[in-house]
Structure 1
Amino acid sequence: MNTPAVASTAAAAATQAKFIEVQGVQQTFRTAKGLFTALQGIDLTIGKGEFVALIGHSGCGKSTLLNLIAGLTTPTAGALLCANKEIKGPGPERAVVFQNHSLLPWLTCEGNIYLAVERVFGGRESRAQLKARTEAALALVGLSHAAHKRPGEISGGMKQRVGIARALSMEPQVLLMDEPFGALDALTRAKLQDELLEIVARTQSTVVMVTHDVDEAVLLSDKIVMMTNGPAATIGEVLDVPLPRPRNRVELAENPQYLHCRKAVIDFLYTRQGHVEKAA
């Protein structure tokens, strides 16, 4: 029989293991050609503080699943929970970072973040407190010096950092990222990946990220969710990434566990799911 302390620890672990729950989810869209089933039979559990990557070929429903967790769309069947509450729509506890930074071009970097902070905390905090939150978010991504610049005056990588800062400024429980570095060059992407690792370590955020990049998935994630080809895509395999943190990309380059995880994902995508182009 468990002692109270052991039982309490087990209960805490069970709670953590069920921070986000996707239960029997199906997503069907009505099109000009009839009903199209994008996702079916999706069951997934994400723990608090866990970094999960969703990976698969184009059209496998990665972004659809992310949008369901964000509450931007409603499942045709099944249910989604966050912290034991059903996800019925968008909420400040779930912040989204898109591939397109989606910054308002007429506002400064500071103004874009302040707008989000005001929406979430405006009824409870003073203007000075809201400004302090905005400045802290900019500092977190190393952009205090660009506070008064507009999006058109900064690089693509900096714009994406502002988008991340805006999401984090709302103090979300969950950070949802849809290929946030997909449009960036390789060097800028690597730099932002390293910065994201540091930010997540500091904030202890739960992260769900859509990616097409195998190396990105292995470098960043605690768990990689591999999707089968669509239509009617589902989860083909879930791979745990047992690499200790903090992670260094140079040190991991020849790490046997890193190489094993990378090979497992490549085998799934290009051996078992490798005929996507012919199917398309």
Structure 2
Amino acid sequence: MFDASDSLLMNPQSSAPADARFVRIEQVGLTFQTRKARFEALREVNLDIARGEAVAVIGHSGCGKSTLLNLLAGLLMPTTGGVICGNKEVAGPGPERAVVFQSHSLLPWLSCFDNVYLAVEKVFGAQEKRAQLRARTEQALNRVGLSHAMHKRPGEISGGMKQRVGIARALAMEPKVLLMDEPFGALDALTRAALQDVTMQLHAQLGMTLMIITHDVDEAVLLADRVVMMSNGPAATIAQILDVDLPRPRDRLALAEDPRYHHCRAQILRFLQGHAQHD
């Protein structure tokens, strides 16, 4: 088992403030046993994320982006190294780390309200009364602009609204870390832009730590304080990290004419082009 105290002794960055190393991914490797052979997905991944920081992870398909997020979510366990969140080793899923998946994953027979209420009841049901749980649910749906649709079922609302419910469900757990796995990839451009703005607003209001997996260069620059670029798999690792030196709050129209935005975008595109996969 990974020992968090040992890592503090070994890691030269251990003198950094605790908030600067709120999430610590240290020497993480992950190997899967397939039917034919062993497959090394990740090798020696090291990353510190500060409390309240927004980090985007980008790279070509098969580079282990979602695998890295699943390790932080506790849905996968590393073969080597360890993942620390808030000075506790990640040993499984927990309500302090909420996930918004690529698919909304809503139960179609329940209303939007009841889909969120299930998560609220699971996390807070033992210590709060039903009225408090309902208030939490309504607050989460209000935050993503769904007060008018909370009693509709998933089949009665648009794809973008379904994804808003997924975000509301995650926020209702009051997580310290919000993990988003390409949450807007299947949406049209206008809906995607609207939900990116919602994400930025919620991140600013609630101050949670954010990791978002994306294939979209513009989305990465718009949302993140740092962009983590992954090398190609197998045995993928972090190849480069870009600091996004853009003030917040961010306005997409203003950024369209900001040379710093275009510089960051060009850096990422240059990296992706240099790591293009060829058949």
Q: Shorter-chain TM-score: what band?
A: over 0.9
CA distance in structure 2 between the partners assigned to 1:87 and 1:53 by the alignment: 20
The answer for the alignment partner of 2:272 in structure 1 is 269
Q: Does 1:154 align with 2:157?
A: yes
- 1:25-174 paired onto structure 2 within 5 Å: 25-174=28-177
Structure 2 unaligned regions, length at least 5:
1-13
What is the TM-score of this pair, normalised by structure 2? 0.94
253, 256, 259: which one aligns with 1:256: 259
Cα deviation for residue 33 of structure 1 reads: 2.1
Runs of 4+ in 1 over 2 A off after TM superposition: none
Secondary structure of the structure 2 residue equivalent to 1:145: coil
Look up the equivalent residue of 2:265 and give its one-letter code. Answer: R
The alpha-carbon deviation at position 277 of structure 1 amounts to 3.5
Counterpart in the other structure of 2:224: 221
SS in 2 for 1:146: coil
Letter in 1 for 2:159: G
Cα distance in 2 for partners of 1:145, 1:27 equals 44
Q: Percent identity?
A: 65
Shift of 1:179: 0.1
Between the aligned partners of 2:85 and 2:167, the Cα distance in structure 1 is: 21
Map 1:234-253 to 2 at 5 A.
234-253=237-256
Query: Whole-Å Cα distance in 2 between the matches of residues 113 and 277 of structure 1?
Result: 43
Instruction: Give distance in 1, aligned partners of 2:50 and 2:15.
Output: 11
Deviation at 1:263, TM superposition (A): 0.5
Q: How far apart, in 2, do the equivalents of 1:99 and 1:12 lie?
A: 37
Question: Per residue, is there more helix in 1 or in 2?
Answer: 1
Aligned with 2:241: secondary structure? strand
Which structure 2 residues correspond to residues 200-211 of structure 1 after superposition, within 5 A?
200-211=203-214
Aligned to 1:6: none
Partner AA of 1:46 in structure 2: I
Deviations 1:95-114 (A, max 9, x none): 00001000010110000000
Amino acid across the alignment from 1:189: R
Partner SS for 1:99: coil
| Structure 2 CA distance for aligned equivalents of residues 29 and 17 of structure 1 | 31
Q: Distance in 1 between matches of 2:110 and 2:250?
A: 35
CA positional deviation for 1:32: 1.9
Distance verdict in 2 for CA 1:12–1:250, change over 3 Å: farther
Residue in 1 aligned with 2:181?
A: 178
Shift of 1:13: 6.6
**Residue identity opposite 2:52 in structure 1:** G
- Normalized against structure 1, the TM-score is what? 0.94
Cα deviation digits, residues 18-58 of structure 1 (max 9, x gap): 00000000000011220000000100000000000010000
90 and 202 in structure 1: CA distance in 2 versus 1, 3 angstrom threshold: same
- Aligned-residue offset at 1:254: 1.5
CA offsets 1:147-197 (integer angstroms, 9 cap, x no match): 110000000000000000000000000000000000001111011111111
SS in 1 for 2:63: coil
Find the residue that maps to 2:229 and give its secondary structure: strand
Find the aligned partners of 2:278 and 2:32 in 1 and give their Cα distance. 22
